[in-house]
Structure 1
Amino acid sequence: MKYIVQWKGLPTTQRPAIERFLKTGGRPPENVQLLGRWHAIGELSGFAIVEATDASGLARWVLQWGDLFAFTCAPAMSDEELGATLAAHQAASA
């Protein structure tokens, strides 16, 4: 399943966040595949799209950074996946 992971940090966490990111690369655990990550310019925030077979690896990754950032994580679907779901729903409702 794919997830949208968003984070926001306070300005006071900028220095330790930079140090940790440069040291670790911000890589997720092995059972979480990072599909893409984007960072906002001028603030300590951004989002990533990841894929995981279960949410435990995602929880582990968020906990590793939880002292520096507040996170939101939500399941995500591509246009194709959503389209198939909507078509099945519409067919079942007819």
Structure 2
Amino acid sequence: MRVMSTYSVRPGCIKEAAARFLAGEGAPVEGVTLVGRWHKTDGSGGFVLYESDSPEALFNGAMKWADVLEIHSNVVVDDNAAGAAMAKYYGK
């Protein structure tokens, strides 16, 4: 499944978050594949798209950063899946 995580840097934590990222700690944990990561141009956060079938692995990855980032994650679907569901319930 695909999971989108948005993150915001906690107040006072930008130096620590940047140091970890530059040290390579932004790599996903075992059981999680990084599809892509995008950063806000103001440096305050961004979002990440992962693929994983393991909620436990996703939780472990979030815990690595919980002290410096506020993270919110949701399972997401692509346009084809969303369109099919919309057509079933609201379309013709």
Q: TM-score range by the shorter chain?
A: 0.7 to 0.9
**SS of corresponding position for 2:58:** helix
Aligned residue in 2 for 1:29? 29
Aligned residue in 2 for 1:53? 53
Gaps spanning 5+ residues in structure 2: where? Answer: none
State the shift of 1:88 in Å. Answer: 4.0
Aligned residue in 1 for 2:10? 10
Q: Which runs of 4+ in 1 moved over 2 A?
A: 84-91
* Equivalent AA in structure 2 for residue 23 of structure 1: A
State the shift of 1:25 in Å. Answer: 4.5
Gaps spanning 5+ residues in structure 1: where? Answer: none
Name the CA distance, whole Å, in 1 between partners of 2:2 and 2:31. Answer: 12
**SS of corresponding position for 2:57:** helix
State the shift of 1:66 in Å. Answer: 0.4
State the shift of 1:82 in Å. Answer: 1.3
Higher percent of residues as helix: 1
TM-score, normalised relative to structure 1: 0.86
User: Greater CA radius of gyration, 1 or 2?
Assistant: 1
Name the CA distance, whole Å, in 1 between partners of 2:58 and 2:41. Answer: 25
Aligned residue in 2 for 1:77? 77
Name the CA distance, whole Å, in 2 between partners of 1:57 and 1:89. Answer: 33
RMSD: 1.8
TM-score, normalised relative to structure 2: 0.88
Aligned residues: 92
Aligned residue in 2 for 1:68? 68
Name the CA distance, whole Å, in 2 between partners of 1:90 and 1:43. Answer: 39
